[in-house]
Structure 1
Amino acid sequence: MAAVPLPDPGTIRTASCYELERLGVPLPPDEYPLVWEAGDEVALRPTAELEARAAILHVIMGRCFGMPADAAMGWLLGSHLVEQVTPPEWQFLVGGKGDHRSFVLHHDALFGLAWVLGLTRHLDPTVPPDDRFVRQLPNLAADETFAQWRSRILAAPRDPVEVAGLLDLHYCLDWSYLEIERTGGVLPGLVDANAIGQRRWALEWAVVFTGPYHDEPGGWEEVDLST
């Protein structure tokens, strides 16, 4: 998808802050960085890359909840996705090594990617994923291949400007939810700070910004959520 101009980042940040006020969560400080600068452009990663990342995370979820290692690796091999598996994911898929809980949390990153691909209707920060979106993912139990899945869903990725706007919101929500947990406040719904961070991770990875202050897009494990 070709890069397109982004709207004024200050205007988008104002809209994000209005949403935070509606949710009743604290606003980030005035000096909280903007996600992009005036004049920047945005695109999404290629659809096949987005679909591959979603499929890999779906297999990881399967592995978290009892899918045998040989079945997981066999599916990825048959779908020609092994090269896109990260080293930590490989160690977990093959030998169950790593932080099991951190991989379980990827459920919300997968939900974020499903939204980017147009497979879910919303990414409401107060509502956890429901089981319906899982039916839009590869049917591993029926040995549905990656190619068959792509043909079935006919993904229609969202407008990159829309994704960038939701990224700005989640960038702010990430700060707000962590602040609520730090101060012992009450969250506005059933989604916690970990889930918001995972959704932000997916959105950060999915978009590709171009401009003087943006680096080349990195890998899945290189997404920086420290700010």
Structure 2
Amino acid sequence: MQAVRVPAPDPREVRDASLDELSRLRLPLPPAQFPLVWEPGDEIELRPTGEIEARIAVLHLILARCFGMPPRAAMEWLLASHLVDMVTPPECEFVMGGKGDHRSFVLHHDALFSLAWVLGLTKQLDPTIPVDERLVERMPHLAGGELFGQWRARILAAPQHPADAAALLDLHYCLDWAYLETERAGRRLPGLVDANAIGQRRWALEWAVVLRGPYHDEPPGWEEVDLST
């Protein structure tokens, strides 16, 4: 399924809605100069559905490796599913040899959850609620040998409207700042989700939502997503 490009919603209206949500959650608001995610007149689209599906499948496989899937079985699944080219170099080192920060790969559970929302595989992405435990039922059944193509045919993805995904990206851009600020101040967060999880969800949305306009570069690779601001 090819991406559909649409006009971006008014960035100030979207930001006002994001700040209203932060206020509802009793979180601190970012400073007045906190940048908008896009500008008036920009356009937005989602990455192609097949590309998002491939990223979900790779992240799911990496999580399986985190919890005991043997490296040989993981590589055989990637080869049979024709997904080897979709694995980043750090991911490949982890899948084949267990190299890298194990904890950081485990945290991708929330990035996967965010991408699942983008494709309509889960109904909500509430910042106060942890990953839906039923999500695993919508993932490839690795133990049963379900390959990537079989999984795609089973789930029948229904991607979100790009404007809705962009609005959620703006919210997570603000939430990322607010959660980090709250944790730094030693204050209580509004739910069972911490700043790491919010950052992972934002990472996935930053990657999945493509912004087009004079101030935007080409879409980044998975490892190139910038979460520094």
| TM-score scaled by length of structure 2 | 0.98
Aligned counterpart in structure 1 of residue 201 of structure 2, from 199, 202, 208: 199
Asked whether 1:225 is paired with 2:227, we answer yes
- Which structure 2 residues correspond to residues 37-186 of structure 1 after superposition, within 5 A? 37-186=39-188
- What's the offset of the Cα at 1:218? 1.4
Distance 2:9 2:49 in 1: 23
Task: Give the CA deviation at 1:131.
Answer: 1.5
Are 1:21 and 2:19 matched, yes or no? no
* % identity of equivalent residues: 71
Task: Please identify runs of 4+ aligned residues in structure 1 that moved more than 6 A.
Answer: none
Whole-angstrom CA distance in 2 between matches of 1:218 and 1:130? 28
The total of aligned residue pairs comes to 227
SS at match of 1:43: strand
Q: What is the CA-CA distance between 1:134 and the residue it aligns to?
A: 1.0
* Cα deviation 1:186-208 (Å, max 9, x = unaligned): 00000000000000000000011
| Whole-angstrom CA distance in 2 between matches of 1:116 and 1:8 | 20
**Does the residue aligned with 2:143 lie in a helix, a strand or coil?**
helix
- Deviation readout 1:80-138 (Å, 9 max, x if unpaired): 00001000000000000000000000000000000001000000000001220110000
1: CA distance between counterparts of 2:56 and 2:121? 11
1:26 alignment partner AA: P
Gaps of 5+ in 1: none
* 3-state SS, counterpart of residue 142 of structure 1: coil
Shift of 1:2: 2.1
CA shift digits 1:44-63 (9 cap, x unpaired): 00000000000000000000
- In 1, the alpha carbon distance for the partners of 2:187 and 2:164 equals 30
Question: Could you tell me how far apart the structure 2 residues matched to 1:88 and 1:164 are?
Answer: 28
Letter in 2 for 1:132: R
| Aligned residues: CA RMSD | 0.5
- CA distance, structure 1, for counterparts of residue 4 and residue 122 of structure 2: 23
